[in-house]
Amino acid sequence: MTRHAKRLRIAGLSVLQIVVAALVLLPFFWMLSVSFKPATEAFAIPAELWPRNPTLENYVLALRPEFRRYFLNSMIVSGATLAITIPLGLLAAYSLSRFQYRILSVFLAMVVLAQFFPAGAMIIPIYKIVRSAGLLDTYASLIIAYITVTLPVAIWMMRGFLMRVPRTLEEAAAIDGASPLRAFVDIVIPLARPGIVATSVFVLIVTWQEFLFALSFTSSKEMRTLPVGMNDYIGQYGVRYGELMASSVMISVPVIAVFFFLQRQFVAGLTAGAVKG
């Protein structure tokens, strides 16, 4: 290829890069922009991309007590789901990655299949279980429901990581007289840490945005999570888009932050199994 043609090719591809960046960033930028616009500008026709007189008033308004409550609820439910999913998932994943009993292959097949169960098809019976336990409109009801969303995926992801942790280290520890449990705690867990982190990020992203169960199982304002609270806002605050966008930004910041800090590990976790096959 001549130098000229090469340059032309790079220029063409750079234009495409800009198109992709715009596709991703324009709506996102618009959300940020409107969140900083005073009410008068948010209603300007036609819409302007930049805020003329940026203000924080939308954020001040959006940080009303109920929003702080939703935030707390979301943190509690996501945190508790994570705290249950990861240990139980790790134990099961270890068992599935190291032993060959037939019942374990049955369980593995169950886990794979369960990942694809539609929440919509399970929601009525889970609702009834939760209701008969007197747990409707509590954190527990959501944590129970979220485990159905996270546990099978978490087992599957962590099993993928553990398969790549070589067994020889555990065998060496066994020769040195360490019990299998000790070897698991001292050797396997530290080596599987990147996998545990990647899985945790995934679980957090999923539970932070879960909507269907939270909408169906909570009825009081005190128990609403952020996504459901946001959905209520549409009805209550209608077209007060500045506030809606400010709340949206604040909901998104935690997941975006976690994601960008742990991105490398997370993408590795997401793609490893699907690609290596």
Partner 1 sequence: MRSSKRNSELWIAFGFMMPAAILVSVLMYWPMVDTFRESLFASSFINPTPEYVGFETYRRILADPVFWQILRNSVVWTMGVVLLQNVVGFFIALLLNQQLPGQGILRSLVLLPWVLPGVVVAILWRFMYDPQLGLVNSFLMRFGAIDRGIGWLAEPSIAMAAVIFVAFWKGFPFSTVIFLAALQNVDKEQIEAAKVDGAGPVRRLIDVVIPAIAPVAAVNVLLTTILTFNYFDIIYVLTRGGPLNKTAIFPTRIYEVGFGQFRFGEAAAYGTISVLVLVLVVASLMMFRFFGYKEVRS
Write out the binding residues for partner 1, residues 210-249 only, by CB under 8 A.
211-212, 215-216, 226-228, 230-231, 234, 239, 241, 244-245, 248
Choose the binding region for partner 1 from 55-63, 64-72, 105-113, 189-197 (rule: CB under 8 A): 105-113
Site string for partner 1, 147-176 (x = CB under 8 A): xx--xxx-xxx--x----------------
Residue identified by tokens 């990942």 is 115
Site for partner 1 in 70-99 (CB under 8 A): 88-89, 91-92, 94-96, 98-99
Whether omega before 152 lies within 30 degrees of 0, making that bond cis, reads no
Q: CB within 8 A of 107, min separation 6: which ones?
A: 92, 96
Is residue 111 close enough to count as binding partner 1 by CB under 8 A?
A: yes
Whole-number Å distance between alpha carbons of 151 and 92: 10
Whole-number Å distance between alpha carbons of 259 and 204: 10
Is residue 21 close enough to count as binding partner 1 by CB under 8 A?
A: yes
Q: CB within 8 A of 270, min separation 6: which ones?
A: 198, 202
Choose the binding region for partner 1 from 13-21, 52-60, 61-69, 75-83 (rule: CB under 8 A): 13-21
Residue identified by tokens 């001040």 is 60
Which of 6, 7, 8, 17: binder of partner 1 (CB under 8 A)? 17
Is residue 115 close enough to count as binding partner 1 by CB under 8 A?
A: yes
Is residue 267 close enough to count as binding partner 1 by CB under 8 A?
A: yes
Q: Considering the complex, state which of residue 42 and residue 173 has its C-beta at the smaller distance from partner 1.
A: 42
- The two most distant CA atoms of the chain are separated, in Å, by 76
Which of 56, 72, 83, 256: binder of partner 1 (CB under 8 A)? 256
Q: Which of 81, 42, 75 is nearest to 251 (CA)?
A: 75
Whole-number Å distance between alpha carbons of 230 and 221: 12
Is residue 138 close enough to count as binding partner 1 by CB under 8 A?
A: no
Which of 14, 79, 186, 222: binder of partner 1 (CB under 8 A)? 14
Which of 107, 138, 139, 189: binder of partner 1 (CB under 8 A)? 107
Residue type, 199: T
